[in-house]
Amino acid sequence: MLKRDYILRLIREFAEALELVMKKDLSKQRDEIRLMYDQYVGPYSLYHVCTMDEVMDSFERFPPEERAERMEMLAELYYAEAGLMAGIGGDELLQRAFALFDFIDRHDKTFSIARRTKMADIQKRLEQAAAGAAD
């Protein structure tokens, strides 16, 4: 019970922190998002150079009851950061966010309309980027 309370508190804290960051000016958003990686999921540099298999393996260091929530935090960070970037870098972050959201959606017991909405948005943005690249 205490572990579940801790996880719920952590999720709430994360959501509030991300919301505050996204209200700041663009240059501060990037810096603070990088700090959030370190604070909530792990080294920013790791999550931007490793493969998705390595990303998934990195969650082994968290207790099993925290893994889905930590994955969702990372997906949210990728999604938020992609919104600050244009081009290939942003598209890669969107692909990473989608992969994590999709994994969570298939394996977690909790249905989330917000997650599904973000997944649809990511697919739409990636399709638009692909169509733009083809022109």
Q: What is the pLDDT of residues 2-20, one digit of tens each?
A: 788 899 999 999 999 999 9
pLDDT, averaged across the chain: 94
DSSP annotation of 51 reads -
The domains of the chain are located at 2-134
Prediction pTM value = 0.93
What tokens does 59 get?
A: 């969650």
Residues near 102 by Cβ (< 8 Å), separated by ≥ 6?
119
